[in-house]
């Protein structure tokens, strides 16, 4: 893995993402990317035909992480699952200009929009396939119709995309997501599946989460972000019950 | 309710939303809003000090719908719950320029960002209060720690916001959300709560959903949007099991 970080395609992606996140996708021409990476426009064109192709390179990264999160046919390893969830969220964060600016970016480009929507459908399908395999392997209970693994897969993807936006509102200038935010998103992900995962899997994932992220962050995360904000209706509920 | 639609504040909000959605928030000065509504700038200023104040007027609308979705102390009425969920989604759709363009809109305006985040926390708290009341009234089971009504409330809100984005990608120029999209979002919302709601509540909500939206849409919705897309991993999963 270490050597691949130095490949030209990776360097192009790194440079492009830094530029897109800093200046906005529309304001970075291909020529600037070539110049920043230190290659010719022709060489850049050999690797990526357009900025859209650079953006959509996020898809194989996310698919790889999903595949590694649950090796097909192998017993589920909660620690690996949590690590790959972290990888997915960090990758999405690197592409935050994209996920957070989708409507602006895609509104004028019908072809890119269709490719993005296909990518999104494939992501949800891949998540669902993992959930189906967890059921086959006994790590997860069957889900009663009309509810389904498809619904849960949709919900996970929606939460991950929303989380990006929450975190960027929280720390607009940050180059990295805060550990507390990563913790919360995975905590939410696990808990959405909690009624369906067997108890041991939930416990193993929460243990792995606590092992991957410093304990002090857990406390912060719990207190700050999942702590009960003022409950606007409490008074009314209380009085109606009393 | 009918008369309030003709109040000046409502006319201002309607005109502003149409302008914001069509031209973008940044491109609509207060003077254009005043001119479109046919009132003086001074009169507009009497109702709303700034465009931010017009935007944040979405909050009482959403809070009202939440309050009506479950009257405090009364038995839960699934039909009313579904109707108010529809109201919430339609209201959020009217404000889609805002929810979908948050990062752009809020990145330069720290005060608006803080007000928005407070609004979001209050929304989640209000949803949670409703869930807590459903538990008190026996419509919902207790949720095992560390999972909680707070987590479910967060997930609901995230799904609603994500849904807006999905739907706008799907029909970028549409003035109204498609019924199939509304159906799907409520279907997802109900199913996220399915393990916690008592069976009769889930059934009543799905019945109410089918009653509120035409049956044909249900079929379309199911087939098109929640139908299984190609399952990328199926082959591998199959082969590993065989």
A145 touches chain B (CB under 8 A): no
Residue B130: band (very low, low, confident or very high) from pLDDT cuts 50, 70, 90: very high
Residue B132: band (very low, low, confident or very high) from pLDDT cuts 50, 70, 90: very high
Q: What integer is the mean pLDDT of B89-106?
A: 84
Q: Hey, what are B60's tokens?
A: 């009482």
User: 């690590």: which residue's tokens?
Assistant: A83
Spacing of C-alpha B62 from chain mean position: 8
**Which has more confidence, A174 or B134?**
B134
Nearest C-alpha neighbor of B105 from the set B55, B174, B33: B55
Residue B21: band (very low, low, confident or very high) from pLDDT cuts 50, 70, 90: confident
Write the secondary structure of A52-69 as one string of H (helix), E (strand) and C (coil): HHHHHCHHHHHHHHHHHH
Q: Which of chain B's residues have a Cβ under 8 Å away from the Cβ of A240?
A: 72-73
Q: What integer is the mean pLDDT of B15-31?
A: 90
Q: Which of chain A's residues have a Cβ under 8 Å away from the Cβ of B221?
A: none
User: In the 8-state DSSP scheme, what is residue B118?
Assistant: H
Residues β-bridged to residue A140? A197
Residues β-bridged to residue B197? B140
Q: Do B191 and A147 touch (CB under 8 A)?
A: yes
Q: How far apart are CA A159 and CA A187, in angstroms?
A: 11
pTM (2 decimals)? Answer: 0.83
Mean pLDDT by 10 residues, chain A (242 residues): 64 92 88 96 94 90 92 92 94 88 76 88 95 96 91 93 86 83 92 94 94 66 48 37 30
Phi, psi (rounded to 5 degrees) for B140: -145, 145
- Residue pair B168/A103 in contact (Cβ under 8 Å)? The answer is yes
Q: Is the pLDDT assigned to residue B218 strictly greater than 80?
A: no
Residues β-bridged to residue A197? A140
Element (H, E) at B204: helix B199-212
Classify residue B115 by burial, with Cβ atoms within 10 Å: 0-12, 13-18, 19+: middle
CA distance A135 to chain B (A): 12
Helix B110-136 / helix B58-69 crossing angle, nearest 10 deg: 0
b/e B160-170 (16+ beta carbons within 10 angstroms → b): bbbbbbbbbbb
Q: Hey, what are A157's tokens?
A: 């993807």
pLDDT in tens, B31-68: 999 999 999 999 999 999 999 899 888 999 999 999 99
**Which has more confidence, A242 or B129?**
B129
Report the complex ipTM: 0.81
Residue of B nearest to A98 (CA): B103
Q: How far apart are CA B62 and CA B90, in angstroms?
A: 10
If you count residue pairs, one on A and one on B, with CB atoms under 8 Å apart, how many are there?
Answer: 172
Q: Do A151 and B191 touch (CB under 8 A)?
A: yes
Q: Is the pLDDT assigned to residue B140 strictly greater than 90?
A: yes
B141 touches chain A (CB under 8 A): no
Q: Which of chain A's residues have a Cβ under 8 Å away from the Cβ of B119?
A: none
What is the model's pLDDT at position A21?
Answer: 86
Q: Is the pLDDT assigned to residue B214 strictly greater than 90?
A: no
- Residue pair A231/B125 in contact (Cβ under 8 Å)? The answer is yes
What is the model's pLDDT at position A222?
Answer: 52
Cβ neighbours around A179 below 10 Å, total: 17
Q: How far apart are CA B160 and CA B180, in angstroms?
A: 15
pLDDT in tens, B169-188: 888 778 888 888 899 899 99
CA distance A38 to chain B (A): 31
A242 touches chain B (CB under 8 A): no
Write the secondary structure of A169-211 as one string of H (helix), E (strand) and C (coil): HHCCCCCCCCHHHHHHHHHHHHHHHCCCECHHHHHHHHHHHHH
What is the model's pLDDT at position B226?
Answer: 52
Q: Which of chain B's residues have a Cβ under 8 Å away from the Cβ of A103?
A: 100-101, 165, 168-169, 172
Q: Do B169 and A231 touch (CB under 8 A)?
A: no
Q: How far apart are CA B138 and CA B90, in angstroms?
A: 29
Cβ neighbours around A3 below 10 Å, total: 7
Q: Hey, what are A142's tokens?
A: 């069957």
What is the model's pLDDT at position B131?
Answer: 96
- Give the residue ranges of DSSP H helices in chain A: 8-23, 30-37, 41-47, 51-56, 58-69, 78-94, 96-100, 102-107, 110-136, 149-170, 179-193, 199-212, 215-220, 234-241
Residues β-bridged to residue B140? B197
What is the model's pLDDT at position A226?
Answer: 52
Q: Do B226 and A73 touch (CB under 8 A)?
A: no
Q: SS3 of A71, please?
A: coil
Q: Do A191 and B117 touch (CB under 8 A)?
A: no
pLDDT in tens, B162-174: 888 888 888 877 8
Q: What integer is the mean pLDDT of B147-152?
A: 92
Residue B99: band (very low, low, confident or very high) from pLDDT cuts 50, 70, 90: confident
What is the model's pLDDT at position A132?
Answer: 96
Q: How far apart are CA A12 and CA A5, in angstroms?
A: 11
Q: Is the pLDDT assigned to residue B133 strictly greater than 90?
A: yes
Q: How far apart are CA A24 and CA A22, in angstroms?
A: 6
Please name the residues between 1 and 60 in chain A that touch chain B, using a CB distance below 8 Å. none
CA distances from A181 to A94, A170, A220, B79 (A): 15, 9, 10, 36
B72 vs A144, A151, A236: nearest CB? A236
CA distances from A145 to A102, A113, A142, A150, B176 (A): 33, 32, 9, 11, 30
- Residue pair B221/A154 in contact (Cβ under 8 Å)? The answer is no
Q: Hey, what are A50's tokens?
A: 């357009």
Q: Do A192 and B151 touch (CB under 8 A)?
A: yes
Mean pLDDT for chain B?
A: 84
């Amino acid at each position: 893995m270490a050597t691949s970080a130095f490949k030209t395609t990776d360097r192009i992606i790194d440079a492009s993402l830094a530029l897109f996140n800093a200046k906005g996708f529309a304001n970075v021409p291909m020529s600037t990317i070539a110049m920043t990476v230190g290659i010719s426009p022709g060489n850049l064109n050999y690797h990526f035909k357009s900025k859209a192709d650079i953006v959509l390179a996020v898809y194989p990264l996310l698919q790889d992480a999903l595949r590694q999160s649950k090796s097909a046919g192998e017993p589920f390893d909660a620690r690996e699952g949590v690590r790959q969830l972290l990888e997915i969220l960090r990758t999405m964060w690197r592409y935050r200009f994209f996920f957070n600016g989708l409507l602006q970016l895609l509104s004028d480009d019908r072809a890119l929009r269709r490719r993005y929507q296909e990518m999104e459908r494939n992501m949800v399908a891949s998540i669902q396939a993992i959930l189906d395999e967890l059921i086959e392997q006994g790590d997860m209970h069957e889900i009663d119709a009309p509810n389904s693994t498809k619904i849960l897969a949709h919900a996970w993807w929606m939460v991950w995309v929303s989380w990006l936006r929450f975190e960027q509102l929280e720390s607009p200038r940050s180059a990295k997501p805060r550990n507390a935010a990563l913790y919360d998103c995975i905590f939410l992900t696990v808990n959405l599946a909690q009624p369906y995962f067997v108890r041991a899997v939930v416990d193993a994932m929460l243990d792995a989460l606590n092992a991957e992220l410093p304990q002090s962050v857990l406390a912060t995360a719990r207190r700050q972000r999942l702590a009960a904000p003022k409950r606007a209706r409490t008074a009314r509920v209380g009085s109606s019950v009393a």
